[in-house]
Amino acid sequence: MPRVKVINYYIYTIPNRGIMYLTREQEQILNGEKGEILQRMFRLLTRLGDIYKADKMIPIGSVQVAGVSYKSIGDPGLEFLEDLAHKGARVQVLTFLNPAGMDLEEWDILGFPHDFSAKQLRIITAFKEMGIVPTATCTPYLIGNLPRFGEHLAWSESSAVSFANSVIGARTNREGGPSALAAALCGLTPNYGLHLPGNRIPEVVIEVKAQMGTLADFGALGHLVGKQVRSKIPYFTGIFDVTSDHLKSLGAAMAASGAVALYHIKDITPESHLMDVKGLETIHVTQKDIKETYESLNQGTNPDIIIFGCPHSSLREIIHLAKKIEGKKLKKPVWICTSRAMKEIANRMGLTSIIEKAGGKLVADTCMVVSPLEQMGYSTTAVNSAKAAQYLPGFCKQTVVYGNIDDLLKEQIK
């Protein structure tokens, strides 16, 4: 590759495309002087940087890797990861995993197929060998991977990316599984997209005139807005008094129905006061719009199973759900998906036992979308997550019942 030395940097040039400044050490990685794996991974990052005209590589604080479920990556993915692990690939920064295809401890009790489970466990072992934290969640910011404002990251899962950018004010593009893994092994990511302040400016104002209350309301709002704005950056007005759970629900839905990786909310999200929205196109969202979105997401009746926790439930959500069903008996299976660390806290608080006595399950490490629900005999699933409602028909061949927690549970309590 042609190069020119400029003081402490090398300029890495690709004919007719652009230039990227590489440090001496990065140049050595690219030349294979630090081993074949790093060379392969760094090449992937430089190609990505080239496509998006990045000027340099930047160090990152943490990584979140998607492509963990055996259902998503299959045998080719499993073999690729085992090969990397056996060849000595090791991550250089704190790296977490996205949900796997099953509860990594209680998969047998929950009825996950044995052949699927064996391969899923091999995937987790390979990641663990690479030094990745062997926990699987889309809410890493709740359990030990909390970035700071302005920190650069390479995260993959779209709701986590949205939360990190919007609610925390960290900076990450939405990485694919391979680019996130490459970033973890190199400790670097190309400097483009949402890493640059100039690309974090709102492009459309969303004026919310509807009454917002439940997680399902915020999911419906996100679903509606994501469909309309696609990948633009929205700036919301008319949203007050929200919890971080409402925000994760909103962001997850916008990332699923559109490709929104960053949003701002007036007086709530940390960059909102820096933004000038004068003259931007404004979209109004009314109560009628939210009602119609509920109706469009709600395709079925009489669910086989009710699953909460997309994105993974926070402790606040688990407490809320446990209180709702305490002392009651559920007619149908109810899963509450969360991270393993959150389940440990719920165990200590006696919440898991309250949920199980009612007939529900606190399911860790996985979720309704990446688990093989269709192979487990379920065909209609009720959810309060617009993201799950969007993906369940295609990914898991499910008919979806969409509603808020109270309405979904009302039908199921004996």
- By CB under 6 A, tell whether 370 contacts ligand F3S: yes
Q: What is the CA radius of gyration of the chain?
A: 22
95, 64 Cβ separation under 8 angstroms: yes
What six digits make up the tokens of 251? 């962001």
Assign 3-state DSSP to the chain and report helix, strand, coil percentages, each to 5: 45, 20, 35
Among 310, 318, 351, 373, interactor with ligand F3S by CB under 6 A: 310
What six digits make up the tokens of 306? 């009710």
159, 252 Cβ separation under 8 angstroms: yes
Site residues for ligand F3S, 345-364, by CB under 6 A, read none
What six digits make up the tokens of 353? 């036992």
Among 45, 170, 239, 367, interactor with ligand F3S by CB under 6 A: 367
- Interface stretch with ligand F3S, choices 49-57, 126-134, 353-361, 385-393 (CB under 6 A): 385-393
- Interface stretch with ligand F3S, choices 27-35, 183-191, 266-274, 304-312 (CB under 6 A): 304-312
Residue 202 or 222: which CB sits closer to ligand F3S? 222
Residue 252 or 265: which CB sits closer to ligand F3S? 252
Residue 26 or 159: which CB sits closer to ligand F3S? 159
Site residues for ligand F3S, 142-201, by CB under 6 A, read 157, 159
- By CB under 6 A, tell whether 389 contacts ligand F3S: no
Helix (H, G, I), strand (E, B) or coil at 360: strand
Residue 94 or 363: which CB sits closer to ligand F3S? 363
Round to whole Å and give the CA distance between 278 and 357. 54
Binding mask 201-220 for ligand F3S (x = CB under 6 A): --------------------
> For the residues of 101-122, what is the DSSP string, one character each?
SS-TTTHHHHT--HHHHHHHHH
103, 134 Cβ separation under 8 angstroms: no
Residue 166: closest CA among 218, 122, 212, 95: 218
Among 152, 200, 312, 361, interactor with ligand F3S by CB under 6 A: 312
412, 380 Cβ separation under 8 angstroms: no
- By CB under 6 A, tell whether 321 contacts ligand F3S: no
Residue 18: closest CA among 43, 60, 47: 47
Among 138, 153, 336, 400, interactor with ligand F3S by CB under 6 A: 138
Site residues for ligand F3S, 94-133, by CB under 6 A, read 98-99
Contact footprint for ligand F3S (CB under 6 A): 98-99, 138, 157, 159, 252, 310-312, 337, 367, 369-370, 387-388, 391
